[in-house]
Amino acid sequence: MQHNDRPARPHISLRQLELFACVARNESYSRAAGELHLTQPAVSVQIRNLEDSVGTPLLEYVGRRLYLTDAGRELYSAASSVLETLDRFAMLVADLKGLKQGRLRLSAVTTAKYFMPRLLGVFCARYPGVDAELKVGTRAEVIARLEHNADDLCVMGRPPQAMNVVTEAFLDNELVVIARDDHPLAGRRRIALGRLVEEPFLMREAGSGTRMALEALLAASDLQARTRMEFASNEAIKQAVLGGLGVAVVSRHALAADAHDSGITELDVAHFPLRRHWYVVHPAEKRLSVVAQEFLRFLREQAPSAESPPT
């Protein structure tokens, strides 16, 4: 008689895996509860039951921050793989039936909020069976989500160079210099960079793609901007410009909604507009779901102006 020496599997339900993966991804019971539309105590009870089944702690607090234990990291990796495989299978079945159903998880940097909701709305109208989710954050937040494989696709203006990712340009992204309508430089032609940097600058946060593009341009001419204030959003920057606090560089997409009567003018500066692109990004080893592949095809169809090829 052959004996099976394999350890007995713990009794873990699919729902427990979903709850645990959500807590691990958010590094918070309360944020996971909000995302799942549950109470925090209900989530905590399920995690305790899961730890009892496994027989070892999966999460622990160090100070006020929640961390995965060694066992928790292994289970999170396994849970993510299982849930992604099941999602992909469900979408494949729907595709075989001639339907487009399933989940689409996207994240995008803050400036992309000026066009991504519109594109996503058109896509969801075409495929009403798709349950779409869009997370908007800073570039650092989107890269963190990319590292944790939290989304199907990420949208940003400057893909990370040190990560093994697939990037595809899908839309032009022009960076322009703005000032208040009555600024001394308003109306002047071909303002030199050396003159521009004499003005106080209103900058995006460190790590922002817009800021890095500006700093690279100035460094090439051995120039440096005089940063007066830093902001985490384009809306705050535009309000500061209107307040006469300085000039700023923003994506032209951020001006589209109020370009005509906003009190803000685009300055005519040498080397501007900086012509860049918006990219859709995902980990190189990621197997895209049917819905994610369809959304990629949709982006190519809706926004064909980007010239750089996929990398």
pLDDT means per 10 residues in the chain (311 residues)? 63 90 92 90 92 92 91 92 85 68 90 91 90 92 92 94 93 94 94 96 91 94 94 92 95 73 88 94 90 92 53 38
Euclidean distance between CA atoms 87 and 50, whole angstroms: 22
Give the pLDDT score at 310: 39
Give the pLDDT score at 92: 74
Q: Which of 237, 248, 288 is nearest to 272 (CA)?
A: 248
Our measurement of the distance from residue 70's CA atom to the centroid of its chain's CA atoms, rounded to an integer in Å, reads: 27
Q: Which of 270, 266, 171, 167 is nearest to 217 (CA)?
A: 270
Q: Which residue has the tokens 């595709």?
A: 95
Give the pLDDT score at 309: 37
Give the pLDDT score at 305: 45
Euclidean distance between CA atoms 48 and 27, whole angstroms: 16
Give the pLDDT score at 212: 93
Give the pLDDT score at 6: 65
Euclidean distance between CA atoms 155 and 135, whole angstroms: 10
What residue ranges define each of the domains in the chain, with the CATH number in brackets? 14-75 (1.10.10.10), 83-171+277-302 (3.40.190.10), 173-275 (3.40.190.10)
Q: Which residue has the tokens 């071909």?
A: 190
Task: Report the SS3 class of residue 173.
Answer: strand
Check: CB of residue 166 under 8 Å from CB of residue 281. yes
Give the pLDDT score at 257: 58
Q: Which of 265, 111, 276, 277 is nearest to 191 (CA)?
A: 265
Check: CB of residue 130 under 8 Å from CB of residue 123. yes
* pTM, to two decimals: 0.68
Check: CB of residue 88 under 8 Å from CB of residue 287. yes
Euclidean distance between CA atoms 42 and 252, whole angstroms: 45
Both tokens of 62, joined, read 């160090």
Euclidean distance between CA atoms 169 and 311, whole angstroms: 9
The letter for the amino acid at 191 is I
What secondary structure does DSSP assign to 149-161, as a single string?
Answer: T-SSEEEESS--S
